[in-house]
């Protein structure tokens, strides 16, 4: 068994990534879990991909695994906290929960394990998300997509043979999720420059230092998984998902809460995030490229009243699928009067630094679009089932759902978010000369 290095102080104590790593799982159970009986959780697809083989390996090793819990592949399950009781009720006492699957299975097992105070073992079946090694489970809870507190897996066994055999769209989804850290990093730069959320250097280095190397070759599944794992470790260190996500994930979460589908199939997390990443990059380029602080001061819109903002929030949330507390979150971060004036002056004073630091962090939109296309990721909203109206709504409403400060908040506080969203909607549709009405039609 070849254990890969883990940053000090992690909740994850053992990380194996190698060809045939399923065979190392019995040793991990003995080493990390005192030989307790494993309990595999999978779905029909991941059971075929790795669960059945692992169950046989565990039996042969004398670990007497419990009967597995297998979700149906159809209809596809979602990472919804409402499913947690199904697992907690079925979980054997004093077992080792073993998640065998992608991001949804991992988050469900992670949450159920946290509720029952078990530590669990993660066996990923695709390099599709960054959540395998993360603190917290990204789940829908009472309609609102958020990160629920959960310990990371105690051990991870990533069999590269299994990862490479995963459907190609899952690998592309993971590539997009990893590339999203570029735009997410630029959002953290914005919050850092304005003194709202300072960058923590060790966490930043863990994700950003090798990020461009990890995404240089979309066919290198091992490198992509290492990058996703490192991002998960960064969330363990920071105890929050800021190192892994910014506006692009908030936009994606909107579409997830809207149950976005394409041709009758739910759109993967990574593909939603990829479109969100292109949108976030385009928003930053629209704001900072060729515009100085004088332009920003001259073009900032008159402040809204609280009643105007509430009406705007109610309109953006009128579909009613975004959770009961989203309106409270949106109004809680609304600035007016002297507070808004002070924030605007802060933005103007730091404009040049914001423009330079975000440009240094970002991959230019056109380059990123080419990288996504080479990785077989969608690059146009219509490729994930979004028309122009739903795409633009995602940009506008994403600013409401979380207190994380991003480019969406800069634009909103300057009164420019709707104008920027119009421009980016056109750019993402690939026809900068068309009118918004024509694109929507």
Helix, strand, coil content of the chain in percent (nearest 5)? 55, 10, 35
* Domain identity same for 160 and 256: no
- pLDDT tens for each residue of 227-278: 999 999 999 999 999 999 999 999 999 999 999 999 999 999 999 999 999 9
* Domain identity same for 404 and 271: yes
* Domain identity same for 46 and 154: yes
CA distance 427 to 226: 33
* Domain identity same for 400 and 300: yes
Which residue is listed with tokens 């759109």? 267
Q: Is residue 229 part of a domain?
A: no
The predicted pLDDT at position 160 comes to 97
CATH number at residue 158: 3.40.50.1970
Q: Is residue 172 part of a domain?
A: no
Q: Which residues pair with 139 in a beta bridge?
A: 146
The predicted pLDDT at position 324 comes to 87
Closest residue by Cα to residue 39 from 28, 60, 54, 50? 54
Q: Which residues pair with 38 in a beta bridge?
A: 96
How open is the CA angle 256-259-262, to the nearest 5 degrees?
105
CB hemisphere CA count around 410 (13 angstroms)? 32
Chain center to CA of 29: 29
Q: Helices 351-361 and 168-193 sit at what angle, rounded to 10 degrees?
A: 160
* Domain identity same for 281 and 393: yes
How many other CB atoms are found less than 10 A from the CB of residue 416?
19
The predicted pLDDT at position 311 comes to 98
Boundary-marking domain end, from 166, 187, 206: 166
For residue 113, give every residue at least 6 positions away whose Cβ sits within 8 Å of its Cβ, in sequence order, or none. Answer: 97, 119, 120, 150, 151
* Domain identity same for 399 and 251: yes
| Three-class DSSP category at 224 | helix
The predicted pLDDT at position 435 comes to 31
* Domain identity same for 259 and 111: no
Q: Is residue 94 part of a domain?
A: yes
Q: Is residue 336 part of a domain?
A: yes
How many domains is the chain built from?
Answer: 2
* Domain identity same for 123 and 250: no
Closest residue by Cα to residue 417 from 406, 427, 409? 409
How many other CB atoms are found less than 10 A from the CB of residue 305?
11
Q: Is residue 416 part of a domain?
A: yes
What Cα–Cα distance (Å) separates residue 240 from each residue in 5, 150, 183, 186, 344? Answer: 22, 11, 17, 17, 27
Boundary-marking domain end, from 144, 166, 188: 166
Phi, psi of 217 (to 5 degrees): -135, 105
What Cα–Cα distance (Å) separates residue 428 from each residue in 180, 192, 276, 383? Answer: 16, 28, 10, 11
| Three-class DSSP category at 15 | strand
* Domain identity same for 423 and 306: yes
With contact defined as beta carbons under 8 Å apart, do 101 and 46 qualify?
yes
Q: Which domain holds residue 354?
A: 245-440
The predicted pLDDT at position 430 comes to 73
* Domain identity same for 434 and 312: yes
Q: Which two tokens stand for residue 290?
A: 């060729």
With contact defined as beta carbons under 8 Å apart, do 25 and 57 qualify?
yes
The predicted pLDDT at position 402 comes to 94
For residue 201, give every residue at least 6 positions away whose Cβ sits within 8 Å of its Cβ, in sequence order, or none. Answer: none
Mode of pairing for the β-strands spanning 38-43 and 96-101: parallel
Q: Is residue 2 part of a domain?
A: no
Regions of the chain short of the pLDDT cut 70: 431-441
What secondary structure, in 3-state letters, does 151-203 show?
Answer: CCCCEEEEEHHHHHHCCHHHHHHHHHHHHHHHHHHHHHHHHHHCCCCCCCHHH
* Domain identity same for 152 and 281: no
* Domain identity same for 115 and 252: no
The predicted pLDDT at position 1 comes to 84
Closest residue by Cα to residue 279 from 254, 318, 247, 306? 247
Q: Helices 168-193 and 269-288 sit at what angle, rounded to 10 degrees?
A: 40
Which residue is listed with tokens 């299975």? 105
Q: Is residue 240 part of a domain?
A: no
Boundary-marking domain end, from 143, 166, 189: 166
Q: Is residue 348 part of a domain?
A: yes
The predicted pLDDT at position 2 comes to 83
Which long-range contacts (C-beta less than 8 Å, at least 24 apart) are formed by 3-11?
Answer: 6/233, 7/206, 7/233, 7/237, 9/237, 10/152, 10/233, 10/236, 10/237, 11/135, 11/151, 11/152, 11/153, 11/154, 11/236
Phi, psi of 138 (to 5 degrees): -80, 105
């Amino acid at each position: 068994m070849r254990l890969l290095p883990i940053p000090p102080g992690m909740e994850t104590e053992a990380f194996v990534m190698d060809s045939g790593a399923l065979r190392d799982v019995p040793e991990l159970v003995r080493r990390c879990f005192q030989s307790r009986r494993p309990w595999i959780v999978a779905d029909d697809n991941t059971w075929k991909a790795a669960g059945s083989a692992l169950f046989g390996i565990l039996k042969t090793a004398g670990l007497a695994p419990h009967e597995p819990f297998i979700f149906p592949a159809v209809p596809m399950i979602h990472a919804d906290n409402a499913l947690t009781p199904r697992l907690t009720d079925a979980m054997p006492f004093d077992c080792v929960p073993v998640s065998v699957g992608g991001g949804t299975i991992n988050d469900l097992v992670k949450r159920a394990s946290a509720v029952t105070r078990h530590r669990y073992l993660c066996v990923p079946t695709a390099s599709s998300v960054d959540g395998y090694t993360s603190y917290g489970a990204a789940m829908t809870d009472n309609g609102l997509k958020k990160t629920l507190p959960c310990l990371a897996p105690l051990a991870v066994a990533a069999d590269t043979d299994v990862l490479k055999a995963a459907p190609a769209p899952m690998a592309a989804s993971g590539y997009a999720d990893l590339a999203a850290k570029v735009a997410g990093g630029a959002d953290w730069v914005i919050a850092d420059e304005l003194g709202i959320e300072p960058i923590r250097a060790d966490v930043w280095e863990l994700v950003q230092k090798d990020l461009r190397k990890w995404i240089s070759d979309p066919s290198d599944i091992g490198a992509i998984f290492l990058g996703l794992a490192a991002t998960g470790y960064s969330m363990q260190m920071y105890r929050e998902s800021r190192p892994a996500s910014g506006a692009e994930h908030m936009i994606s979460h909107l579409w997830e809460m809207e149950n976005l589908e394409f041709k009758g199939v739910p759109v993967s997390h990574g593909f939603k995030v990829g479109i969100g990443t292109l949108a976030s990059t385009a928003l930053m380029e629209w704001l900072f490229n060729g515009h100085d602080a004088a332009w920003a001061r001259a073009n900032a819109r008159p402040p809204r009243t609280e009643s105007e903002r509430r009406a705007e929030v109610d309109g953006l949330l009128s579909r009613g699928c975004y959770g009961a507390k989203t309106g409270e979150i949106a109004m809680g971060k609304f600035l007016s009067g002297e507070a808004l004036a002070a924030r605007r002056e802060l933005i103007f004073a730091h404009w040049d630094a914001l423009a330079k630091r975000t440009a240094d962090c970002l991959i230019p939109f056109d380059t990123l679009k080419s990288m996504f296309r080479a990785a077989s990721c969608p690059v146009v909203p219509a490729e994930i089932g979004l028309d122009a109206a739903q795409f633009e709504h995602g940009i506008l409403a994403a600013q409401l759902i979380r207190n994380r400060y991003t480019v969406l908040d800069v634009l909103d506080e300057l009164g420019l978010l709707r104008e920027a969203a119009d421009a980016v909607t056109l750019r993402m549709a690939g026809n900068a000369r068309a009118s918004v009405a024509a694109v929507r039609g």
